[in-house]
């Protein structure tokens, strides 16, 4: 096996350029899906706000 450096027959693979674009599109779609899932998890974790019942705890004495 011979290893040569600086050979002229190394050319960019332009015939597979569309594959790179497709991979980038799929990665972007995957990021958007993961972002949507993260937002749904955050919204599901928010505590439900409810109004207090009665007068208990509405007036707090802060004077010592």
Q: What is the residue extent of each domain of the chain?
A: 20-44
Here the tokens at position 17 are 């350029």
Tokens of 29: 């779609």
pTM of the model: 0.47
Per-residue pLDDT of the chain (64 residues; tens, 9 = 90+): 555 566 555 555 555 667 888 889 999 999 999 999 999 999 888 776 766 666 666 677 788 7
Cα–Cα distances (Å) from 6 to 3, 14, 23, 25, in that order, read 10, 20, 30, 34
């Amino acid at each position: 096996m011979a290893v040569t450096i600086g050979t002229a027959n190394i050319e960019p693979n332009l015939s597979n350029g569309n594959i790179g674009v497709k991979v980038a599109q799929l990665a972007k779609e995957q990021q958007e899906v993961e972002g949507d899932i993260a937002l749904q998890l955050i919204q599901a974790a928010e505590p439900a706000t409810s109004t207090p019942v009665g007068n208990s705890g509405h007036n707090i004495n802060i004077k010592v």
